[in-house]
Amino acid sequence: MAEHAACQEVVELVSDYLEQSLPPGEASLFEQHVNFCDGCDWYLDQMRSTVATVGRLTEHDVPDETRERLLSAFREWRRE
Ligand SMILES: [Zn+2]
Protein backbone atom coordinates (compact mmCIF):
# COMPACT_ATOMS: atom_id res chain seq x y z
CA MET A 1 0.00 0.00 0.00
CA ALA A 2 1.53 3.28 -1.04
CA GLU A 3 1.58 5.84 1.73
CA HIS A 4 -0.16 8.58 -0.18
CA ALA A 5 -3.03 6.50 -1.48
CA ALA A 6 -3.44 4.60 1.75
CA CYS A 7 -6.79 5.97 2.88
CA GLN A 8 -8.34 5.56 -0.51
CA GLU A 9 -6.97 2.04 -0.74
CA VAL A 10 -8.39 1.21 2.66
CA VAL A 11 -11.80 2.38 1.46
CA GLU A 12 -11.44 0.20 -1.60
CA LEU A 13 -10.23 -2.82 0.34
CA VAL A 14 -12.62 -2.66 3.25
CA SER A 15 -15.21 -5.02 1.79
CA ASP A 16 -12.52 -7.57 0.94
CA TYR A 17 -11.11 -7.17 4.41
CA LEU A 18 -14.46 -7.77 6.06
CA GLU A 19 -15.01 -10.82 3.89
CA GLN A 20 -11.52 -11.97 4.84
CA SER A 21 -10.51 -12.29 1.24
CA LEU A 22 -7.38 -10.14 1.52
CA PRO A 23 -4.00 -11.85 1.39
CA PRO A 24 -2.50 -11.93 4.93
CA GLY A 25 0.16 -9.34 4.05
CA GLU A 26 -2.39 -6.86 2.83
CA ALA A 27 -4.72 -7.54 5.73
CA SER A 28 -1.99 -6.69 8.22
CA LEU A 29 -1.08 -3.50 6.35
CA PHE A 30 -4.76 -2.67 6.38
CA GLU A 31 -4.94 -3.20 10.15
CA GLN A 32 -1.82 -1.14 10.74
CA HIS A 33 -3.32 1.71 8.81
CA VAL A 34 -6.66 1.53 10.59
CA ASN A 35 -4.87 1.53 13.95
CA PHE A 36 -3.39 4.96 13.40
CA CYS A 37 -5.96 6.51 11.09
CA ASP A 38 -9.14 7.73 12.78
CA GLY A 39 -10.91 8.28 9.48
CA CYS A 40 -10.42 4.72 8.28
CA ASP A 41 -11.11 3.34 11.73
CA TRP A 42 -14.45 5.12 11.62
CA TYR A 43 -15.11 3.95 8.08
CA LEU A 44 -14.32 0.37 9.00
CA ASP A 45 -16.75 0.64 11.92
CA GLN A 46 -19.47 1.91 9.62
CA MET A 47 -18.89 -0.89 7.17
CA ARG A 48 -18.75 -3.46 9.92
CA SER A 49 -22.16 -2.41 11.22
CA THR A 50 -23.50 -2.36 7.67
CA VAL A 51 -22.34 -5.93 7.25
CA ALA A 52 -23.89 -6.84 10.59
CA THR A 53 -27.18 -5.34 9.42
CA VAL A 54 -27.23 -6.40 5.79
CA GLY A 55 -25.31 -9.63 6.22
CA ARG A 56 -23.04 -9.07 3.30
CA LEU A 57 -21.22 -6.18 1.74
CA THR A 58 -20.06 -5.42 -1.72
CA GLU A 59 -18.47 -2.25 -2.93
CA HIS A 60 -21.70 -1.46 -4.72
CA ASP A 61 -23.58 -1.29 -1.45
CA VAL A 62 -21.80 1.95 -0.70
CA PRO A 63 -23.59 4.70 -2.58
CA ASP A 64 -21.30 6.88 -4.69
CA GLU A 65 -22.38 9.89 -2.72
CA THR A 66 -21.40 8.36 0.61
CA ARG A 67 -18.12 7.24 -0.84
CA GLU A 68 -17.39 10.71 -2.17
CA ARG A 69 -18.23 12.29 1.15
CA LEU A 70 -15.96 9.87 2.97
CA LEU A 71 -13.11 10.40 0.59
CA SER A 72 -13.33 14.16 0.96
CA ALA A 73 -13.52 13.73 4.74
CA PHE A 74 -10.28 11.76 4.54
CA ARG A 75 -8.66 14.58 2.63
CA GLU A 76 -9.74 17.00 5.36
CA TRP A 77 -8.33 14.80 8.09
CA ARG A 78 -5.04 14.46 6.35
CA ARG A 79 -4.66 18.21 6.11
CA GLU A 80 -4.70 18.59 9.89
ZN1 LIG B 1 -6.74 6.25 6.51
CA of 53 to the centre of ligand 1 (A): 24
Domain that includes residue 49, residue range = 7-79
- The rounded distance, in Å, linking the Cα atoms of 42 and 23 is 22
CA of 37 to the centre of ligand 1 (A): 5
Considering the domain boundaries, does residue 19 fall inside one? yes
Which residue type occupies 8?
A: Q
- For the chain, the domain total comes to 1
- The rounded distance, in Å, linking the Cα atoms of 37 and 57 is 22
pTM for the whole structure: 0.62
Considering the domain boundaries, does residue 30 fall inside one? yes
Considering the domain boundaries, does residue 1 fall inside one? no
Q: What string of pLDDT tens digits covers the 80 residues of the chain?
A: 444 447 888 888 998 898 889 999 999 999 999 998 999 999 899 888 887 777 765 555 566 777 777 777 767 766 65
